[in-house]
Structures are given as C-alpha cells and as structure tokens.
Amino acid sequence: MRSGRHFLQIPGPSNVPDRVLRATDMPTIDHRGPTFMEMTKDITKDLKKIFKTANDVVIYPASGTGAWEAAMVNTLSPGDKVIMFETGMFAALWQSLAENLGLSAELLPGDWRGPADLNAIEDRLKADSNHEIKAVCITHNETATGALSDVHGVRKVMDSVGHPALLFVDAVSALGSVDLRHDEWGIDVTIAGSQKGLMLPPGLSFNAISNKALAAHKEAKIPKAYWNWTPMLTQLKDGSFPYTPATNLLYGLREAMNMLFEEGLDNVFARHQRYGEATRRAVQAWGLENQCLDPAGFSPVLTAVRVPEGHDANELRAVILKNFDMSLGTGLGKVAGDVFRIGHLGDLSELSLSGALCGVEMGLGLAGLPHQKGGVQQALAYLSETSDS
C-alpha cells in the first residue's frame, strides 16, 4: 500500500482527469442506436475544432501506430517513395512501419538533438525533380527527444519548391498540447492518439484528412480493410462506424473535449509552454543537459534530460519510482540509459509539476548523480512570476 497518488510523469499516456474517468464509467450502449449516433455526430463536429479542419476526422479503436498505418495504406501504392526526417525514435519507427508496408521510406539523417531540419528537407525535395516522393512525413513533437518541429515551415518549403507530395504529420504527442492547424498549414493527413494531450486512456487514434489526401485515396493501391477510410467516412455521416467502436472511450473523448474548450485551446497551449519553460529552468539549474539543443524546438510536452557520462538514467528512474512513487519516461533507442524524460502534458497543475520536479531533484541526490541543487527553486520562481494574479 502506498499512500497518496502515483505521479505519472511519462510523456504519455498522461494523467486521465477524474471528469474523464467518470464519463467513461457509464453503461455501454447500442452503437447502432439513436443515442450513440447523436453522440458521435456531436463528437465529430467538435473534433474538427481540435484539429482545426473543416473535413471529417476518422476515429479508430486503435493506438497511434494504427493511425500511422491508416494514413499510409489509404493514400499510397506499393513501392511509393516517402521521406521522414530523423528527429528521433518515433520518426525511425514510422520509417520502419512504412518499409513493412512495401513503401520505399527514406530517413533524412538527424542527430536526435533538435527538430526537423527544413533546409535538409528543401534540398531533398529540390533534388527530386521527377517528383518521385509521394509523401513528406514529419513528427510534430518527437516524444523520444522533446523536439517540436515547425510543421507550417515544412508546408512553406514544399510550396516554395513546388513539390506536390502529400504532407503527413504525426501529432500523436502534440495534439491537444500544442497548436496544430490542419487546414491552414496545408497538412494532408494528421495522425493523432487519445492518450497524451487529449487526456484519455490509450485506445483511440485519429486521421484528419485533406481533400488532396481524399483524392489520393481513390488511386491508392496498398491493400486495406480495417483502416479503409471509405466505409468510415460514409458511416460517420450518420454517426455510426463500420465496426464496433470503443464506446466508453468516446464518452471520455466527449468530456475531454469539453474540458479543453472550457479552459480554451489557446490557454491550454500557453500552459504547456509555461510548464516546459519551468522544467527547463530546473534542468539548467541542476546543471544537466537538455537532449534538445535548439531553443526553437524546445517541446512544451516533455523535456528529455541527459544524465552525466558514466551514469544510468534508468537507475535514477528506478530510485525515483521506489522512493517517491513517480514514473518518468525511459530513454528510447540510441539514447536508452542516457536520457530520462519528464512529461509535462495534459491534466497537470502548477503544484503537480512542482511536485514532480521535487521528486527528480530528491532522486538526483539519492541516486548520487552529480548535479547542483536549486532547480526546483528556479521552477517555482518562474511559475510564480508568470502566474495570473
């Protein structure tokens, strides 16, 4: 028995607010009945506001990986060339998923220390004079490294070189925490999940789809069944799904969107920025290094912190879990053991964030990691200076 609440400070799944938990705790109803169909119509109307699109958003009972796959099988044909920029582990996983689907997926090399390099993307697109590249794939918020890429900037680059590829954006760990404008930024498919900024349990994922992506869908030849947009979009019009939806997660989605609208999306984004800045001030005062080196790409969702050479980030995480009942994100892929990640997303107050930072500072001491004290003080000072009153 541990008293108090577990601190879940991984960069998703994020804490599920009580209001959302209560909303899911309702009888499952007939998903072909009138009550459910009215609820779905209401949800899809409001989802458009979250993605900032005039088009319908497809909802899958799946994790984010499913929505990655859905974006590709619905718009591309075997052998098509796609490019990703290697911001970190999730960009690399996306490439390997694309290869497994029979696409030719090229990873533009990155050092995992910052956002997608727009110059590298521009050079690659310019070199593609025959327009063999069918899609540019960008991870909006790289959850492995805490780097936020300039999606609108990528669209501007594509337009400036006159490249007709589709623009796919993985917003799995960005949506609901960071501004994303599907229509205005000319995104063709936005991929998202329920378990991060949307504050839901894992289990729903989304594709927001442009008219250009819909046109590509008509020609796409990769076999598809479960992920097929056509029956999804047809049935969504009357509020139903081609197969059994995750009814109780949809109740939760209704409530989570209510919460986001009550706070105001811009306030939600500003809150995430502020928590990111407070966390980075703590990290700097501890004398530790942010995995993301480019201030223009600092993530409002998480901060990936490097431990000093010769130390193991996972030992620190274990000490913090054992002593303070707090989960921090592990380092992924080639930064495993070198990095721990502090999630500052979703349903989080100033005091919860401060508590989390206290846990890290105490853990650094207990684990014997070389650091300076006073990070929490720096974060508290920033949070009080920038509070409303």
Q: Which residues bind ligand PLP (CB under 6 A)?
A: 12, 63-65, 90, 139, 143, 170, 172-173, 193
Cα 118 from Cα 322, distance rounded (Å): 42
Nearer to ligand PLP, 170 or 361 (CB): 170
Nearest approach in angstroms of CB 64 to ligand PLP is: 3
The residue type of 73 is V
Nearest approach in angstroms of CB 60 to ligand PLP is: 11
Q: Decide: 112 and 146 in contact? Cβ < 8 Å.
A: no
Nearest approach in angstroms of CB 133 to ligand PLP is: 21
Q: Which structure tokens are listed for 10?
A: 């991984």
Nearest approach in angstroms of CB 177 to ligand PLP is: 11
Residue nearest to ligand PLP (CB): 64
- Closest-CA residue to 342 (of 176, 146, 148): 146
Q: What's the number of CA atoms in the CB half-sphere (13 Å) around residue 324?
A: 24
Nearer to ligand PLP, 305 or 369 (CB): 305
Nearest approach in angstroms of CB 147 to ligand PLP is: 11
Neighbouring C-beta atoms of residue 187, cutoff 10 Å? 29
Nearer to ligand PLP, 65 or 327 (CB): 65
Nearest approach in angstroms of CB 95 to ligand PLP is: 12
Nearer to ligand PLP, 172 or 335 (CB): 172
Nearer to ligand PLP, 65 or 77 (CB): 65
Q: Which structure tokens are listed for 110?
A: 């990155």
Cα 159 from Cα 153, distance rounded (Å): 10
Nearest approach in angstroms of CB 27 to ligand PLP is: 27
| Residue 175 bridge partners (DSSP) | 178
Nearest approach in angstroms of CB 141 to ligand PLP is: 6
Nearest approach in angstroms of CB 342 to ligand PLP is: 15
Q: Decide: 307 and 339 in contact? Cβ < 8 Å.
A: yes
CA distances to 191, 232, 270, 307 from 364, rounded to whole Å, are: 36, 49, 29, 10
Nearer to ligand PLP, 147 or 307 (CB): 147
First vs last C-alpha separation in the chain: 39
Nearest approach in angstroms of CB 328 to ligand PLP is: 15
Q: Where are the alpha helices (DSSP H) in the chain?
A: 18-24, 34-51, 64-73, 89-100, 118-127, 151-160, 211-219, 229-236, 247-263, 265-286, 313-324, 350-366, 375-385
Neighbouring C-beta atoms of residue 296, cutoff 10 Å? 12
Query: In which residue are the tokens 């927001």 written?
Result: 208
- Closest-CA residue to 135 (of 225, 220, 193, 51): 220
Task: Please give the radius of gyration of the chain, using alpha carbons only, rounded to the nearest integer.
Answer: 21
Beta strands in 130-233 (DSSP E): 133-139, 141-142, 147-148, 166-170, 189-193, 205-209
Query: In which residue are the tokens 């209560």 written?
Result: 22
